[in-house]
Structure 1
């Protein structure tokens, strides 16, 4: 376990205690004390990156570069550059994917004043929403086709705000045009978790880019206003069980809600850019009350009124089956890390035929910190 990772986890009780103090530490100062900030970079100027609809004849077929503005200019399994690479015999190695991982890690930390100083949470949300549309009965959805590139999926309410992450990933795609969007987005999710002091997430490439027609209907992602039955309907459809539902919910340790996106407002924890089991600890250790405001129903912690929980979060301590797993994760972060890692690895492979993967077993990629230590 690296020093940085161990320090971040050990600091969790101190973060909670400091945040509860009646003399509140200024928000910017508090954030700075728990993570490093990089030089601010210019914010993305648009929500989409347009590509010319040009065809490249290669590998025995026509391949098209498409538009991410929602108007499909004609896309097939690979872009023109991917096809040309394939024809020339280029086969990306594990080291090539590590280079992509490292570029994503740079972007995660180059967030300036965006949210809490990190793009990690919104990038992870992109990977999760791109994967969480899977239906085990119809074998549709999942991360394989990266259909959030197109309308109407990109405009669905559950995906509000993810244009930020998609635009960031376009920068990486420009530098590494051979990688599919499905591989890029899920690898970005892996990088986000690992670079925010989370557990290692086994991952392997093999996803392909699909058509707008492959997009799934709205309503396959969780509705935060609902209860336990809704959560089960959504996650059982993907093939998950109660334990995995709770484990995946722990990702709410990261990031915050935005009123101009989901309607909800605020962070779940006092350290929204570090992966810890704080989400579960706070569910049990804080007194939660319904927030009195004009927005949708959400809870706030009674002491500081600075944290929030969604109705779908609170059912984890109300439902008997969910509660036993949530309590176990609140008491044992290592247990949650193990179960979370397994569940996320499964999530990111939903909808991808086994024969498409280029490796028989997933890879465990090193963090940037581990790579630097290896060079010393």
Structure 2
């Protein structure tokens, strides 16, 4: 049964049903949902005021064919029945809400998400190539993407990186391989704990540059993750490793900022069903 226009709680319930989180190896889409939200928003360029969460453009070939977005079809496909059931919600709203719900379902903080984003046509789609962070690069790249183009602070950058507590890299996607933490469906401050308590060395293999923990060789970190051990980022890495509540609060605020990037633009069309309901 379709929901009443504007009933976001009904949408949340169906997203929860679409991402079972009992066991990671049984196919939860939780981590992929978070990645979909991140990649949908990280195309924003504050200097050009384009890209970002407005538009729902991840559904167009220009973006989903980007090699950096490989694997995200799993999350998009899981959300498609939700959209079919609730056709009044825009894809821009659905793709951002999906990641927020996933964070909560995996034990993370409640994200006070709000709707109202527009969808755009594919002709208005902003290419994501060369806009998404490249995990194989270093400190200058992190500064260029997070602090300069996205307009994040150092603290917000470190907080957002903590989402690597869940999920893992797949060699068939971006070439990297392995999980960051032992519990890939538990949203905790373990990413920071692993960074600080494990000994990391560059992995000897035929894939892209990444690091592995010297003790077990089971966990991995990307070069961009290792930047969190350097100034000015390390201070917050240490803070969040000690205080999960503080991490949750700062992550919530940073994610809300991320999913709002580009939302003030008016270059798309609002969902007419939703607008009609709001104007009654």
Matches within 5 A, 1:141-152: 141-152=51-62
Gaps of 5+ in 1: 1-84, 359-376
Is 1:276–2:188 an aligned residue pair?
Answer: yes
**In structure 1, distance between residues paired with 2:203 and 2:110:** 36
CA RMSD of aligned residues (A): 2.1
**In structure 2, distance between residues paired with 1:354 and 1:106:** 32
Q: Which TM-score applies when normalising by structure 1? A: 0.68
1:107 aligns with 18
**In structure 1, distance between residues paired with 2:24 and 2:226:** 27
SS in 1 for 2:19: helix
Matched residue count: 266
Superposed CA offset, 1:289-330 (max 9, x none): 11111111111111111100000001110x210111111111
Is 1:344–2:255 an aligned residue pair?
Answer: yes
Distance 1:283 1:264, change over 3 A: same
Q: Which has the larger radius of gyration?
A: 1
SS in 1 for 2:212: strand
Is 1:162–2:38 an aligned residue pair?
Answer: no
Is 1:92–2:2 an aligned residue pair?
Answer: no
**In structure 2, distance between residues paired with 1:191 and 1:354:** 25
1:220 aligns with 131
Gaps of 5+ in 2: 275-280
Superposed CA offset, 1:125-184 (max 9, x none): 101100111111111001110111112211112101101111111110111111100111
User: Is the Cα–Cα contact under 8 Å of residues 21 and 105 in structure 2 kept in the other structure?
Assistant: no
User: Is the Cα–Cα contact under 8 Å of residues 21 and 185 in structure 2 kept in the other structure?
Assistant: no
User: Is the Cα–Cα contact under 8 Å of residues 116 and 272 in structure 1 kept in the other structure?
Assistant: no
CA drift of 1:252 comes to 0.4
SS in 2 for 1:327: helix
